[in-house]
């Protein structure tokens, strides 16, 4: 019996191409989070502190991922992913440059903010599936889990650093320079992508129509429990349980009556918790499983319910750090499961479905969170999200266990039937040859 070899948590960094990709993503994501924070401040300044305008900008930025998510996955699988990423990242850099120039010159207004948010979301709808599927091409199968966790870690590092840098830059120079700095940050990822060289030839372009290729991915998901479980789970958790950008701000302002600095501390605590979750996941060293995904989701749901019951700002801050850790553990495990179990020719389309349910739920969940907060109070939004996550994880866990047992029974019956057929065939041949049973 061979021993199980446990590779170091950061062994994906041994791959030169992945190191270049990861560093470029880190620099670019810091700029992206800077822009996201500055954009909200700019919308509030432009509209006289209109919360609904901020909500509309957020919805417009995520709406294309709901409408075009499957199309983005089809494009990711149809065309070379590196070339696709070079185009989408260039388009996103152009968006931030235009936003920066409009802001610096004083020409920015609410309609232009709406249009640019939608344009960024459209580019992201294609960029997201290609970017995540590209990881599977940069590293070998046994390094995939490490690569996914390291990618989650850099994302959360950027989420912790970006808003803080944005606050300092806005205080010193205004919002316009933040968008221009984000434009410059795209040079890092564009340089990294342009210097990546792989031995794998570009996949041939499929001549089949887009709907046919999309149906292939949906059929693959429906017939593969290891894909159906994480996507179904994230559909509910992403819509109801992962709206912390909205829920935390509501609790901070309406329950604890904090200012901008205290709210910034809450955002940083959640991001740092997410970073810890990604690092822990990488160091854990065990491959992702359906049971591990459902158990961590149950833990996350319980933490979110407790989050809504915290009596003081300090206790809320501490538990938010832990909840952020659990949230990233859930999403990273789900992402890794999909990376490992999706057929390579379909990986981009399968990941597009995953990000469709993860990010596409925001335009649905965010308004619902607002309605629940208005009717029952801000704390109830966290309790509701936690309960939905708990119930979904328990239900899908039981369903997956039943399906697995049924699949094992069917397999055992097939093996037994095959053995009987082979025995009968052997007996028939012996009788025909006159050998008899002995």
274 Cβ contact partners less than 8 Å away, ≥ 6 residues apart: 152, 155, 156, 159, 324, 325, 327, 328
> CA triplet 259, 261, 264: central angle to 5 degrees?
110
CB-based burial label for 394 (10 Å; 0-12, 13-18, 19+): middle
- Say yes or no to pLDDT of 426 above 80: no
* CATH code of the domain covering residue 126: 1.20.1250.20
Whether residue 90 is contained in a domain is answered as yes
- Answer yes or no: do 187 and 232 share one domain: no
Domain count, the chain: 2
Tell me which residue of 191, 54, 36 sits closest to 114, measured CA to CA: 54
For residues 242 and 375, membership in a common domain is answered with yes
> Could you tell me where the DSSP H helices lie in 68-109?
69-78, 81-104
Residues 46 and 127 placed together within one structural domain of the fold: yes
In a domain, 347, yes or no: yes
Q: So what's the pLDDT on residue 317?
A: 94
Report residue 209's pLDDT band, with 50, 70 and 90 as the boundaries: very low
Distance CA 353, CA 230 (A): 11
**Token digits of residue 41:** 């401040």
Q: What percent of the chain has pLDDT over 70?
A: 83
Closest to 32 measured CA to CA, from 130, 157, 146: 157
**pLDDT the model gives residue 365:** 78
**How far is Cα of residue 327 from the mean position of the Cα atoms in its chain?**
11
Q: Is residue 215 in a domain?
A: no
User: What per-residue confidence (pLDDT) applies to 207?
Assistant: 46
What integer pLDDT is reported at residue 437 of this predicted model?
A: 46
**Taking the chain, what is the end-to-end CA distance rounded to the nearest angstrom?**
36
Alpha-carbon gap, residue 59 to 295, rounded angstroms = 31
Same domain, 355 and 231: yes
Residue-wise pLDDT for 408-417, tens only, equals: 665 555 545 5
**Span 100-121, average pLDDT:** 94
In a domain, 50, yes or no: yes
Do 185 and 238 sit in the same domain of this protein? no
Query: Is 378 part of a structural domain of the chain?
Result: yes
Residue 151 has pLDDT above 50, yes or no: yes
Look up the pTM and report it: 0.69
Helix, strand or coil for residue 357? helix
Find the mean pLDDT for residues 156-171. 81
Shared domain for 122 and 77, answered yes or no, is: yes
Are residues 234 and 352 both part of a single domain?
Answer: yes
- Domain span holding position 176: 10-143+158-193
Residue 207 domain flag: no
pLDDT of residue 27: 94
Residue 407 has pLDDT above 70, yes or no: no
- The pLDDT of residue 393 is above 60: yes
What per-residue confidence (pLDDT) applies to 380? 92
Residue 1 has pLDDT above 50, yes or no: no
Q: Count of residues for the chain? A: 438
Give the separation between CA 334 and CA 293, rounded to whole angstroms. Answer: 7
Cα separation, 120 vs 39, in Å, equals 12
Q: What is the pLDDT of residues 217-270, one digit of tens each?
A: 889 988 898 899 999 999 999 889 988 877 887 788 778 887 656 766 887 888
So what's the pLDDT on residue 259? 65
Q: Domain for residue 63, yes or no?
A: yes
Joined tokens for residue 196: 């990546």
Q: What is the pLDDT of residue 421?
A: 54
**Side-chain half-sphere CA neighbours of 399 within 13 A:** 14
Of 267, 266, 292, nearest in space to 281 by CA = 292
393 in the same domain as 272: yes
pLDDT in tens, 80-92: 889 999 999 999 9
Higher pLDDT, 405 or 24: 24
Sorting pLDDT into bands at 50, 70 and 90, what band is 423? low
Is residue 311 packed enough to be buried (19+ CB in 10 Å), middle (13-18) or exposed (0-12)?
A: exposed
241 and 108 co-located in one domain: no
Q: Are residues 182 and 234 in the same domain?
A: no
Contact between 160 and 268 (Cβ < 8 Å): yes
Q: Which two tokens stand for residue 353?
A: 């479905």
The SS3 call for residue 208 is coil
Assign 433 a pLDDT band (cuts: 50, 70, 90).
very low
Is 363 domain-assigned?
Answer: yes
Answer yes or no: do 236 and 184 share one domain: no
Sequence-distant (6+) residues with CB within 8 A of 421 are: none
One domain, residues 241 and 181 = no
CA distance 134 to 200: 12
């Amino acid at each position: 019996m061979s021993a199980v070899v446990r590779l170091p948590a950061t062994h994906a960094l041994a791959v030169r191409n992945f190191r270049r990709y990861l560093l470029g993503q880190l620099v670019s994501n810091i700029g992206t989070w800077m822009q996201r924070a500055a954009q909200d401040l700019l919308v509030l300044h432009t509209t006289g502190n209109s919360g609904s305008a901020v909500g509309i900008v957020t919805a417009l930025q995520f709406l294309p991922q709901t409408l075009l998510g499957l199309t983005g996955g089809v494009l990711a699988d149809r065309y070379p992913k590196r070339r696709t990423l070079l185009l989408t990242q260039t388009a996103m850099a152009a968006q931030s440059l235009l936003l920066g120039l409009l802001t610096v010159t004083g020409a920015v207004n609410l309609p232009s903010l709406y249009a640019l948010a939608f344009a960024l979301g459209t580019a992201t709808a294609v960029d997201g599936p290609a970017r995540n599927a590209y990881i599977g091409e940069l590293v070998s199968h046994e390094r995939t889990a490490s690569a996914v966790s390291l990618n989650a870690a850099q994302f959360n590092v950027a989420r912790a650093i970006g808003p803080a840098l944005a606050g300092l830059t806005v205080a010193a120079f205004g919002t316009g320079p933040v968008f221009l700095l984000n434009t410059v940050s795209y040079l890092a990822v564009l340089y990294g992508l342009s210097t990546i060289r792989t031995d794998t030839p570009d996949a041939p372009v499929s001549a089949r129509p887009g709907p046919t290729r999309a149906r292939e991915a949906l059929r693959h998901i429906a017939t593969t429990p290891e894909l159906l479980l994480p996507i179904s789970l994230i559909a509910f958790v992403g819509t109801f349980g992962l709206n912390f950008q909205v829920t935390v701000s509501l609790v901070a302002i309406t329950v604890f009556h904090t200012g901008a600095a205290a709210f910034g501390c809450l955002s940083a605590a959640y991001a740092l918790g997410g970073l810890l979750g990604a690092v822990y996941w990488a160091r854990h060293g065990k491959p992702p499983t359906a049971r591990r995904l459902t158990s961590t989701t149950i833990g996350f749901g319980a933490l979110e319910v407790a989050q809504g019951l915290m009596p003081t700002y300090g206790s809320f801050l501490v538990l938010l750090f832990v909840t952020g850790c659990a949230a990233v553990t859930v999403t990273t495990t789900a992402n890794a499961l999909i990376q490992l179990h999706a057929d390579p020719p379909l990986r981009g389309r399968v990941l597009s479905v995953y990000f469709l349910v993860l990010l596409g739920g925001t335009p649905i969940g965010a308004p619902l969170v607002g309605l629940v907060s208005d009717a029952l109070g801000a704390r109830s939004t966290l309790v509701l999200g936690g309960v939905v996550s708990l119930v979904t994880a328990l239900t899908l866990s039981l369903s997956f266990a039943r399906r697995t047992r049924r699949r094992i029974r069917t397999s055992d019956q097939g093996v037994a039937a095959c053995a009987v057929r082979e025995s009968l065939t052997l007996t028939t041949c012996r009788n025909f040859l006159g050998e008899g049973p002995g």
